[in-house]
Structure 1
Amino acid sequence: MTSTTSTTSSLGMIKEDIIYSTKTYCSRCTLIDRKGLILNDAQVVSRDNKVYLKSLCVHHPSNYTLICSSLEFFNRMSSYNSIELNKSIKDIEDTIISRISSNSSSAPSPFTPQQSLALELNIFQQGTFLTNDQILSNLQYFQSMYPKNRKFVLKIMAKGTNDIVTINSIVIFIANTLKGYPILLEVTVERLGQIGKLPDSSFLLGKVYPALKYFLKRGDEDLFAKDLNALLQVLSQYNGIQAVITIAVERPFANLSSILHLLRSKNELIRFIILSLERPPKDLYQSLQQRVEKDIQAEKQSQPLPTPEQTSQDIINNNDPYELIQEIERATNQTIASSDFFPINVGSALEPMLSLMGYGSFAIRPNPFCGFGTCLMNTDSHTSRPINRLFNIGKFYKEILPILPQIEEKIGFINGLRLKSIIKSCHYDNVLLPNIFDYFTEKSKADITKRVIDKTQILIIHNNMDIASLDLRRRCNCAINTKTKDNNFVSSCTGCI
């Protein structure tokens, strides 16, 4: 994975390996000097078994941001990348431009919004709700960007309003219009609970799922547990409802032991657990100011500038998801370990299974470093067990990838046999697990399959980018896009840009 191109850094005389070239924003130019959003050349490099995003700004060269404290983990995730890393920077720029401004009826390309798993729509903009005509226009626009056989998840947000009655009625209108598409409703924990108590709640439709994003700080663990239990008590009245819980965490981390124990114990209601490592903009700015002051002082005193290893202790120079994964290992006593995580784009191997089960055809193909996930299985003999300890996910992905284009069209008899053989070969010998293919294809086992799926949780680490850690190569292939006011799209995690 790592490029053979090597350099010797002037900072600490440590050898660097260039993994790939990209573009980024110089945080000092953007946030301190207020020069605007100007893309600079950048590199993702490895040094001392860590991975950094290195800005090559002509005014402030060699600014390093730690993006992974384990080169081994980074390389393992990147080994699942199906996108070539040797594309020119111009190709990347063209990709972004086409992705966020395309409104043509031409055939989908691998890098257009058609490949996004989810689209976001804020129904409350500029102090007012969107009209029905505006909503219909948006929905038609969304559908026009996807092939007829491809679906997407629509996440509805209502930022800036507490009018739950209107929110609920609009969600019902969208659900009745956008038939066959799963819909997430993301509002605050209080508003989700209030909407759940409405006599005509949109959750009664069966295709609208509550999505909570909770900003969790250290010391607020008990408050989170109280809020979550209150919400789940309301949601438990809905038969078969499945919730998506996103917890945004920042350093220093909250006590994840109690948090994860609670979330894992609610497997019948919570389907997705997403942990997103986020850096508050205020903390970023303050950290950058302090970093600049230290650098200026060092220059005045003719002292060497800090090495990347030293600056990575500052918030502005640290956006390391592996640190969060290590915290999860400690919090769960290794019942969930770093080896259990795979890049989310491995989910592309499951696309045919979702189609077989009648869920529809979705594209699960983000950049492999955008998110890492594992399935937590709950059966008669296993409780919240990572699927990788029961089934060889890596082998399954790499063996199914070559035939994926064929089975997207139609599985058929021959491909069905090949798929069944691949699945069987991925079963570990010492694990009692039935052939998953049979459970997906035999109607007689549909009830058993549903019971297993209804208790399976998906744990995801969202590797959040922000304005101070943008890797344009990654941003070209994000899983979630947000609709902007001017009919463009931006990746969800860098929507501020």
Structure 2
Amino acid sequence: MTETILYNTKTFCPRCTILERKGLLLRDAVVVSRDDKVYLKTLCDQHTDNRTNETLYCSSLSFFQRMMNFDGTYMKTLKDIEDLTTNIPTKPTPSNFTIELNIHLPNSTFLSDQEIKDNLLQFQSYYPKNKKFVLKVSAKGSNDIETINEKAKMISNQLKGYPILLEVTVERLNEIAKLNDSAFLMGKIYPALKYYLKRGDEELFIKDIQRLLTLLRQFSDIQSAVTIVVERKFANLSSILSLLRQNNDVIRFIILSIERPPKELVSSLQAKYNNNTVDQQQGNNNDNEDDDKIINFSDPYELIQEIQVATEGQIKDEDFYPLSTASVLEPMFNLMGYGLYNIRPSPYCAFATCLLNTESLKSVPINRLFNITKLYKELLPILPSIEEKIGFFNGLKIKSILKNCNIPGVTIPNIFDYLTDKSKSHITKRVIDQTQILIIHNNMDIAALDLKRRCHCSVETKHRDGFVSSCTNCI
């Protein structure tokens, strides 16, 4: 079988790190293509059976290449792969779209108001004065609804002009929504649900969402985000996605996130290595069994295929693009008065599609109307010159680009006119308020670290006596 190296990187050897507990030691690694699939292969000098040191990175080579082609650097071979470790920033950069603040400590106490204010000032210092971010407030492990509500309101008063997501469990969201002085009455605090969905819990999820929607509709113009954390084998997403898409007036963001439970990952690794040891002892060398020896799966394309089946082809793999392509829309958001944000995660960290809803369109992916690849490539060069102000000549250029990126045979008005003409602002706002963003968050866990990709989006933050590298919450 022909194998092609796509690029060099570094990773943790799963056997050294997880099973043998030798610590977080970076090993040489390569991302390779084979049989139209993509694998992350650890080149560990202590474990030479490389086939058992592989992670299925993507089950579609064409999808992987389409996503990564939006980043012109990933295929380039670095002269010294060790230089990657120096690229990780030591403090958050202004590329973060979202910053998370957990207001509840492990010792069952809340951050004081002053501690919260200090954190907010620190967050703001990471950004130029003209840039904004979304603050995600969580209270992990707390059932104190009253305090959570009061802290959220205090944060909103301190952080004026910034959107705030309050992410708690569905039960706590329900209780907060019932309060007479609910934080959701303030207008800039939005409910954010994170739901761990297992196969068999589909009906419970639907009941929980319907109950929550009934409460949220009591608030004027409220919008929310729903993050569904799934694991293999996936739950049946048909009725779930149908419900979420039908309620696009309240649910603005649908985020599907794949996570591998640690216990399941460890047991899977142990089983694979044990099977491989038995095969070696018995002298078995059956190529048909090779796929079973790939120790784990970190494959977002599998979830995208599930979505295609669940929506009966209404949403397909070609409808998804790297979330980072939204960077070309940053000036548009600013033009409409939403503020200037950075939306620039690594191309393989998140894939998204906009679902448009109008009088004639019902949850239709935006790329059915626009050539997104062409739009991105033509708008990207002029981004630096339109960050603060678009101007007359750039306005004409953008108008022409938008018109030329229409899909042939699809008749739609020029979007730029609706973005710039104040007399049409109510129409623009109505369309935007009905638009949903469907995102696949492709998590990178300890058994699938790709340092080259990680350097796009990781940050070292102070933790006890040292620093820890973590996701920048760019999604």
TM-score scaled by structure 1?
A: 0.90
Question: Is structure 2 residue 410 aligned with structure 1 residue 431?
Answer: yes
Tell me by how many angstroms 1:303 deviates: 3.0
CA separation in 1, counterparts of 2:289 and 2:441?
24
Deviation per CA, 1:431-463: give whole Å up to 9, x if none. 231111111111111110111011100001111
Choose from 242, 245, 263 the match for 1:282: 263
The answer for the alignment partner of 1:403 in structure 2 is 382
Q: Aligned AA for 1:64?
A: E
CA contact (8 A) 2:461 2:470 kept: no
Against the structure 1 CA distance between its residues 262 and 462, is the aligned structure 2 distance closer, same or farther, given a 3 Å change threshold?
same
1:49 equivalent among 32, 36, 57: 36
Q: Counterpart of 1:187 in structure 2: which amino acid?
A: V
Matches within 5 A, 1:281-300: 281-300=262-281
Over residues 218-256 of structure 1, what are the superposed CA-to-partner deviations in whole Å (9 max), with x where a residue is unaligned? 111100000011111111111111110011111111111
Partner of 2:391: 412
Q: Is 1:186–1:213's contact at 8 Å kept on the other side of the alignment?
A: yes
Q: Counterparts of 1:64 and 1:408 in 2: how far apart (Å)?
A: 42
Where do residues 185-196 of structure 1 align in structure 2 (5 Å cutoff)? 185-196=166-177
CA contact (8 A) 2:255 2:439 kept: yes
Q: Return the alpha-carbon distance in structure 2 between the equivalents of residues 42 and 181 of structure 1.
A: 41
SS of residue in 1 equivalent to 2:171: helix
Counterpart CA distance in 1 for 2:431 and 2:290 is 45
Q: Deviations over 1:66-116 (max 9, x none)?
A: 0111101111111111445434423321122xx2x33xxxxxxxxx52111
Alignment of 1:42-441 (within 5 A): 42-61=29-48, 62=50, 63-86=53-76, 87=78, 88-96=80-88, 99=89, 101-102=90-91, 113-127=93-107, 128-304=109-285, 309-311=290-292, 316-441=295-420
Query: How many pairs are equivalent?
Result: 467
* CA distance, structure 1, for counterparts of residue 123 and residue 460 of structure 2: 11
Q: In structure 1, how many angstroms separate the alpha carbons of the residues matched to 2:69 and 2:55? A: 22
Contact 1:119/1:483 (<8 A) preserved:
no
Distance in 2 separating the partners of 1:309 and 1:125: 46
Letter in 1 for 2:69: S
| Cα gap change, 1:152 to 1:298, in 2 (>3 Å) | same
Structure 2 partner of 1:107: none
Equivalent-residue separation in structure 2 for 1:309 and 1:45 (angstroms):
15
User: Are the counterparts in 2 of residues 50 and 68 from structure 1 also a CA contact under 8 Å?
Assistant: yes
Change (3 A) 1:157 1:284: same
SS of equivalent residue, structure 1 residue 115: coil
| Change over 3 Å in CA distance of 1:27–1:147 after alignment to 2 | same
Q: 2:19 aligns with which of 4, 29, 32?
A: 32
- Decide whether aligned partners of structure 1 residues 379 and 332 sit closer, same or farther in structure 2, where only a CA change above 3 A counts: same
Once the two structures are TM-superposed, the CA of residue 307 in structure 1 deviates from its matched residue by: 7.6
Counterpart amino acid of 2:224? A
Whole-angstrom distance in 2 between the partners of 1:488 and 1:383: 47
- Alpha-carbon distance between aligned partners in 2 of 1:21 and 1:307, rounded to the nearest angstrom: 27
Distance 1:78 1:403 in 2: 21
d(CA) in 1 for partners of 2:157, 2:18: 44
3-state SS of 1:66 partner: strand
Distance 1:450 1:409, change over 3 A: closer
- What CA distance in whole angstroms lies between the structure 2 residues aligned with 1:491 and 1:422? 38
Question: Identity over aligned residues, as a percent?
Answer: 58
CA distance in 1 between partners of 2:461 and 2:105 (Å): 11
Query: What is the rounded CA distance, in whole Å, between the counterparts of 2:426 and 2:215 in structure 1?
Result: 26
Paired residue type of 1:442: D
Cα distance in 1 for partners of 2:194, 2:319 equals: 24
* Change over 3 Å in CA distance of 1:336–1:179 after alignment to 2: same
Q: Is this contact kept in 1: 2:185–2:219, CA < 8 A?
A: yes
Amino acid of the structure 1 residue aligned with 2:85:
E
Q: Hey, what does 1:106 align to over in structure 2?
A: none
Taking the aligned partners of 2:208 and 2:331, their CA distance within structure 1 comes to 37
Match of 2:5 among 14, 18, 23: 18
* Partner SS for 1:339: helix
Structure 2 match to 1:451: 430
- Which amino acid in the other structure matches residue 81 of structure 1? D
Tell me how far apart the structure 2 counterparts of residues 45 and 141 of structure 1 sit (CA, whole Å).
Answer: 41
Instruction: Call closer, same or farther: CA 1:202–1:401 in 2, change over 3 Å.
Output: same
Return the offset for 1:309: 4.9
Q: After superposition, give the CA deviation of every residue in 1:106-141 in whole Å (9 maximum; x if it has no partner).
A: xxxxxx521111111111112211111211111111
Q: Could you tell me how far apart the structure 1 residues matched to 2:29 and 2:93 are?
A: 25
Secondary structure of 1:468's partner?
Answer: helix
Give the Cα separation in 2 of the matches to 1:235 and 1:483: 35
The 3-state SS of whatever aligns with 1:15 is coil
Cα distance change on mapping 1:291 and 1:278 into 2, 3 Å? same
Where do 5+ consecutive residues of structure 2 fail to align?
Answer: none
d(CA) in 1 for partners of 2:202 and 2:180? Answer: 31
Q: Residue 383 and residue 309 in structure 1: after superposition, are their counterparts in 2 closer, same or farther (change >3 A)?
A: farther
Question: Given residue 68 of structure 1, which amino acid in structure 2 is its aligned partner?
Answer: C
Question: How far off is 1:292 after superposition?
Answer: 1.5
2 CA distance for matches of 1:274 and 1:90?
A: 34
- The answer to whether the 8 A contact 1:120-1:483 is kept is no
Q: Secondary structure at the match of 1:129?
A: coil
TM norm structure 2: 0.94
Q: For the Cα contact (< 8 Å) 2:38–2:61, is it kept in 1?
A: yes
Query: Over aligned residues, Cα RMSD in angstroms?
Result: 2.0
